[in-house]
A and B are shown apart, each in its own frame.
Chain A
Amino acid sequence: MTTRELLAILVLVAPLAGILVAAVVPREPLVRAETAVAVVTALAAAAVAVVALAEPGHRDLGRWIVLDPAGGLLVGVIGAVGLASALMSRPFLTGRHASLFRPHRADRIYWATLFAFWAVLLAVPLAGNLGAAWIAIEATTAASALLVGFSGRGRALEAGWKYLILTSLGLGVALLGLLMLEAAAGGGGLETLTWRSLPHTDLNRETALVAYVLLLAGLAAKIGWAPVHNWLPDAHSEAPAPVSALLSAALLPAVLLVAWRSQQALAPTIGERTSRGVLVGFGLVSLAVAVPFLWRPQAWKRLLAYSSLEHMGVIGLGIGFGGPLALAGVAIHIAGHAIAKALGFYAAAPLLAHDPRAAGHAVGGIGRTEPSLGASLGISLGALAGLPPSPLFVSEVLIVAGGFQVGRPWAAAAAAVLLALGFLGLAHALVDTVVGRPRGRDRHPPTGLRSVRTLTAIAVPLLLALTAAALWLPDSAVVDGLLRGLG
């Protein structure tokens, strides 16, 4: 076993210690012990990301574990967002009022479920075959649905229930596609479904195409691509803020990576242009569906959720276009979206304490009544809108340019128009939220603002560094590695 594979196994095992800690460690040092496990997990994830991205030409294609630049990027993102969510869970649990579980057990169940979710989430980009990836994705549903409904309030139950049922049915459809592939390959067991074997398997084109569409339609329900995104705004808005951040910044792109790998694996059979066309289609439809919601006044977390729909559409377009410019844009977009979106969700906790109306209504003038909170909200929303110097501005330019580069001018032009419309909607929300007229009169001192200030101070240089990296990335070996995929 190589050092890289050992590191990947460490990443998968480390968060399981968090479940054990939740079960056995006494109440007093529980939070400190969980924080320590979170730091170890994040360090292991960072090591895997560095190793994979430092040697982008090298890849490990095992039956159960795969490590390539795209997987490394996702593991790094999931590790970083997971650590931040674990750190932000402390103020959340201190301030929580009710729970789905009995009060004396609720905190332990929260920690155990959070680490279980994190563990299976890390397994998704590292899974060496389509079957294991499917199992990991389905397992994320079980763990994260409990976290979505954690508060036990009626609205959270509704959001958790919708999420559980819709994504489970969607993944059932994806499993049908997976079984079709296995049958079309004439059996052969696990090896047939490995990422290393699928591209070389002799498949009937028509069957492979239908299987691919079923796979993507099923995964779309989990990625939150339109038109099967109904659970997304509800789950993201009702989940605890640290969980919303993990759902949006880590889960959605991790599942999207499996869709991308499926495209790479089946392109030799069904054709490069056809397989990419399906991704471009999902991307454009998601963008088109998201834009009208970005123009409406929305509650803060719901606005971020619709922005997730938009950004998953952008990433879908990028991998659908697939050229060097577009893939450079995808890499920057995944990382930049994760930072900006996670910050936005973490800032939701002090925002709700400051102005409780924010749970169900658009807020205004936060920068006037609480300047540092307004700054955090503004930086998050400005970055998500693609306001320069946000890295998402550069990544969107790269993706649109990538569309023209690979000979999809109409899709690229449509994306440019939709992105401009989405920008206008979010820019309006940005102005209103930060410097608009304050709507509520009963504003209170926000709680948990200190940790959000710290995260904002970390996020700003990271976002600027990403913008700088975006200028260098298109000609780099990392993009060559992404272009090569798993081949």
Chain B
Amino acid sequence: MSALAWAVVALGVGVVVVRRRSLAVGLVTGQALLLAAVALGEGGSFDAAIAAAALVLRGIRLAALLLFLVRRTRESRPVRAGVAPLARAAAGVALALALIWLIPPIGLDSMAAERATLSLVAIGLVTAATRRATLFQVLGIVLVENGLALAALSLPGSSSLAIELGVAIDLLLIAVVAGVFHERIFAEFGAGDSAALRSLRDN
């Protein structure tokens, strides 16, 4: 469990530093598959099988949607992030350490799962905050949700399958809406670059 959890975090760090959108989509899809493995590793119960299936389906659908968007909005060169890759990774690690230090034990199955959850939330927040590319900001949300999926899988006792499915459906809906915006922003400004979205200011 702990090795799988840390592998999910390592893939998350990859999303913070890579330049290519398609590679980052591959990394979050890999996370979803690893999370499904975590779910199956929890035991062969019906709930675990459903959770694993939901994670795999969600991961594949997200990957299909995001890769479709990457194809439809090809850029001559990747959108530059405002912060260098190493600085982004350092910020992610620093925020992860701060969260682990600040937040008391959550009560998950293992300390590794708790730390991996908080690390993924931190990395997701840093990705959304430091990447200018709109698609990477969506991936930041997916990273946070993957961290929370790991926490849900590591809850002691049973968790509510209905709630987990609802959360997964919500994430897909958000990704679809973000996709609509990403395409239109690309068409309007010539790049999926959130830095172009700076016209709304107070007088």
Contacts and interface: CB of A to CB of B under 8 A. Distances in A.
Interface of A: 100, 131-132, 134-135, 138-139, 141-142, 145-146, 149, 152, 154-155, 157-162, 164-165, 168-169, 172-173, 175-176, 179-180, 182-184, 186-190, 193, 204, 206-207, 210, 233-234, 237-238, 293, 296-299, 302, 361-362
B134 A139 contact: no
A210 B106 CA distance: 10
B197 interface: yes
B15 interface: no
Given A187-B155, A187-B157, A145 B148 contact: no
Contacts of A139: 170, 173
B121 interface: yes
Contacts of A169: 124-125, 128, 140-141, 144
27 contacts: A135-B163, A135-B170, A138-B174, A142-B170, A142-B173, A152-B184, A154-B188, A154-B199, A158-B198, A159-B200, A168-B174, A176-B121, A183-B106, A183-B108, A183-B156, A186-B157, A187-B157, A187-B158, A188-B157, A190-B162, A190-B163, A193-B163, A204-B107, A207-B104, A207-B105, A298-B203, A361-B203
Contact of A157 (B106, B124, B162, B188): B188
Contacts of B156: 183, 186-187
A210 B107 contact: no
B185 to A, nearest CB: 5
B106 A165 contact: no
Nearest to A183: B107
A131 B168 CA distance: 12
Given A157-B188, A169-B141, A298-B202, 17 more contacts: A139-B170, A146-B180, A149-B181, A149-B184, A155-B200, A161-B197, A169-B125, A186-B156, A188-B157, A188-B158, A204-B104, A204-B107, A206-B104, A207-B106, A297-B203, A302-B202, A361-B203
Majority secondary structure, A binding face: helix
Contacts of B157: 186-189
Nearest to A214: B103
A134 B189 CA distance: 34
A442 to B, nearest CB: 20
Contacts of A188: 157-158
A350 to B, nearest CB: 22
Interface string B168-203: 001001101110110011001100001001111011
Nearest to B188: A154
Contacts of B176: 142
A219 B142 CA distance: 19
Nearest to A235: B200
A219 to B, nearest CB: 15
A131 B160 contact: yes
A233 B201 CA distance: 9
A179 B148 contact: yes
B174 A164 contact: yes
A389 B76 CA distance: 61
A207 B107 contact: yes
Contacts of A298: 202-203
A162 B173 CA distance: 16
B166 interface: yes
Nearest to B143: A172
Contacts of B152: 179
**Which residue of A168, A297, A298 has the most chain B CB atoms within 10 A of its CB atom?**
A168
Interface size class of B (residues with CB under 8 A): 35 or more
A234 B201 CA distance: 8
B148 to A, nearest CB: 5
A139 B177 CA distance: 11
Contacts of B159: 182, 187, 189
Contacts of A172: 121, 124, 141, 144-145, 148
Given A142-B177, A293-B202, A132 B166 contact: yes
Given A157-B181, A182-B159, A296 B173 contact: no
Interface string B95-136: 000000001111110000000010001001100100000100
Contacts of A189: 157-160
Contacts of A297: 203
A162 B197 CA distance: 9
Contacts of B147: 176
Given A145-B181, A160-B181, A183 B155 contact: yes
B181 A135 contact: no
Nearest to B157: A187
Given A172-B145, A188-B158, A158 B200 contact: yes
A175 B158 contact: no
**Which residue of A169, A172, A187, A207 has the most chain B CB atoms within 10 A of its CB atom?**
A172
Nearest to A184: B107
Contacts of B188: 152, 154, 157
The 10 closest A-B pairs by CB, nearest first: A187-B157, A183-B107, A131-B163, A158-B197, A190-B160, A135-B166, A172-B144, A142-B173, A138-B170, A234-B200
A185 to B, nearest CB: 8
Contacts of B185: 157, 161
A103 to B, nearest CB: 14
B34 to A, nearest CB: 19
A282 B121 CA distance: 23
Nearest to A135: B166
B104 A141 contact: no
A165 B128 contact: yes
